[in-house]
């Protein structure tokens, strides 16, 4: 009986490592989603509507790939030998990562509805906000890789950096919204721009539950 328990414990640990590797694949795809959004915003700011459309479609496709990985992880967790606490932690991680991909896709959809070029102060602050979520996604990927390699110090430092970025992103959102208000846009542009500002900040904010 003791030998059986040891074998089951070993199988559980081996399975956990497999799932953690899947989580690393998940965050790689989510980072791609964020990078495609950044490409879409850059194209929009540059007036390249064709590149903007292509990048938005890439966001959608990448989010779908991330979703497939999420489903694979959940299936493994449901059928596996992990302890309930380990299963719950990995399930929570997977769901929180999925929220980042969903938020990024939602931001891309909003961008798709913005047809007219916004004033330069708005575009400048939008670009800064986008750079922040790109940094946040990259930092989150590094945190998960550090966790996967049991580099606790590196993971902790990465979590602290994400926390700092989120604080800065909140301040940046206020600047972006202020620029939108001062631009005296039509009602539709105000609504779309405001919601995009909120969504850009939320993508980074959603990283916090993952990194803690």
pLDDT of residue 86: 63
Per residue in 125-148, is it b (16+ CB within 10 Å) or e — as a string? bbbebbebbbbbbebbbbbbbbbe
Contacts 24+ apart (CB under 8 A), 119-124: 119/179, 119/183, 119/185, 121/179, 121/182, 121/183, 122/176, 122/179, 122/180, 122/183, 122/193, 123/45, 124/179
Query: Which ranges of 46-151 would DSSP assign to H, the alpha helix?
Result: 49-79, 84-113, 120-148
Report the alpha-carbon distance of residue 189 to residue 185 in Å, rounded.
Answer: 6
**Which residue's structure tokens are 């199988």?**
11
Would you state the pLDDT for residue 3? Answer: 36
pLDDT in tens, the chain (212 residues): 333 333 233 334 555 667 777 888 888 999 999 999 999 999 999 999 999 999 999 999 999 999 999 888 888 777 765 555 666 777 787 888 889 999 999 999 999 999 899 999 999 999 999 999 999 999 988 888 887 777 888 888 888 888 899 899 999 999 999 999 999 899 999 999 999 999 999 998 887 666 55
Rounded to a whole number of angstroms, the CA Rg of the chain reads: 19
pLDDT of residue 191: 95
pLDDT of residue 12: 40
Is 1 strand, coil or helix?
A: coil
- Residue 179, CA distances (Å) to 42, 47, 189 in order: 18, 19, 13
**Residue owning tokens 């980072």:** 31
């Amino acid at each position: 009986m003791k030998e059986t328990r040891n074998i089951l414990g070993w199988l559980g640990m081996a399975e956990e490592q497999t799932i953690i590797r899947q989580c690393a694949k998940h965050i790689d795809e989510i980072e791609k989603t964020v990078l495609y959004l950044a490409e879409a915003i850059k194209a929009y700011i540059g007036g390249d509507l064709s590149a903007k459309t292509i990048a938005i479609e890439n966001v959608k496709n990448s989010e779908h790939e991330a979703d497939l990985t999420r489903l694979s992880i959940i299936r493994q967790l449901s059928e596996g030998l992990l302890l309930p606490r380990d299963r719950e932690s990995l399930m929570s991680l997977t769901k929180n990562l999925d929220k980042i991909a969903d938020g990024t896709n939602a931001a891309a959809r909003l961008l798709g509805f913005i047809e007219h070029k916004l004033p330069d102060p708005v575009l400048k602050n939008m670009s800064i906000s986008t750079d922040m979520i790109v940094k946040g996604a990259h930092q989150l990927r590094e945190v998960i890789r550090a966790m996967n390699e049991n580099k606790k110090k590196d993971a902790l430092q990465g979590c602290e950096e994400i926390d700092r970025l989120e604080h800065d992103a909140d301040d940046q959102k206020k600047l972006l919204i202020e620029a939108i208000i001062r631009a005296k846009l039509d009602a539709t542009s105000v609504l779309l721009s405001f919601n995009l500002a909120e969504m850009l900040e939320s993508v980074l904010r959603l990283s916090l539950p993952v990194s803690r």
